[in-house]
Amino acid sequence: MALCLRIIYIITGLTGVHSITTVSKVSVKTGKSISIPCLYESKYKNHVKYLCEGSKWRSCSDVLKTNTADPSGKYSISDDKNQFFFTVTINNLTNENTDYWCVVEINNGPDYGEHFQLSVTSGTPSLYVDHQRITGYIGESITIRCHHSNSGEMKWCRLGRNCVTGSSGSIDGTTVTAYMSEPNVFTVTMSGLQSEDSGWYWCAKGDIQIPVYLTVTENTTTTPTTTGITIHTVNGNGKVTTMEQWNNFTIVQNRQHRASFPPKILIIPLSVLIVIVIVVLFIWFILRHKQSKAESSATAMVGEEVTYSEVRTKKKRLPKSSFAESDMELVYSSVVEKQRNKRAEGKETEVTYSTLANLY
């Protein structure tokens, strides 16, 4: 019996054991990041976990452990001891980042590890999702779009649980529907979400998988049906704080206060109004000027007086008499013509004729 155990330890030390569950092959793009989940048994909750790089189990090199930190920022690792999985993230991927192992450190025995492979490409990955981490709300639905360019069977699985391979099914009591919404897009919808649905899932097309982490939480944006109090406060920087108090809980929202009507909106109407006023005043000034000129011309014509006068000297031969030396006849005549123009009454003309004759 002891010999059998020693043989088992030797074999597991060479090949690793399946006490850890993870994806097998993931397609990623050069320069991007990828997060890989590694599910372990609950009995390893307090054990150290780490990432090992290399295609062979015996020759892989330790990269990062849960009790250490990576100063370069290339790798990160976190351990969720409530759901019994640790997550490794690899940043700035290159063609050299291809083979890794999720490992649980075992005291007084060989470590347990599970291999996964990265297919790093400079083009579009053969299978990818819009977001690797998504959030759903209790009682509602969530939709995941899996973009693919390779052939093979489509699957939606929960890490360490069952899979849905057809158009419909369920995972842990949650309804799952799957269909081709458009060419090269495999759409998965999970309905009636529960808080227990939080965890790692993966979408598969052929031999390629892409892990997706789902967080299910309460929808705090739903409008409460009970009465409450809403308080708005504005600080000196124009930041508005809204506090809504509903029975046993309080919602606080912060947002920047902005004027309802930006001042710039009023510039164009005011400019147009100013131009209109200037044009109206200009037209009024021209009309007023013409009217004043017409009145001045009419006034100048009023009282115009023309006077004609004539003086004639006439000699007349008379019989000789005592007045012989005075044989002259003087005739005086004058013509006076007056014209008056009256506005709005037409013309009035006055003519005066006078003659004075003195005969000697």
Q: Yes or no: is domain 127-217 CATH 2.60.40.10? A: yes
Percent of the chain with pLDDT strictly greater than 90: 49
The second-level CATH assignment, the architecture, of 2-121 is Sandwich (2.60)
| Span(s) in the chain for CATH 2.60.40.10 | 2-121, 127-217
Confidence tier at 270 by pLDDT (50, 70, 90)? confident
Mean pLDDT value of segment 189-204 = 95
Q: What is the pLDDT of residues 117-152, one digit of tens each?
A: 999 999 999 999 999 999 999 999 999 999 999 888
pLDDT(335) > 50: no
**What's the first-to-final CA gap in the chain, in angstroms?**
189
Region of poorest pLDDT, from 158-162, 298-302, 342-346:
342-346
Taking the CB of residue 322, how many other CB atoms lie within 10 A of it? Answer: 6
Q: What is the pLDDT of residues 233-265, one digit of tens each?
A: 555 555 555 555 544 444 555 555 444 556 667
Confidence tier at 18 by pLDDT (50, 70, 90)? low
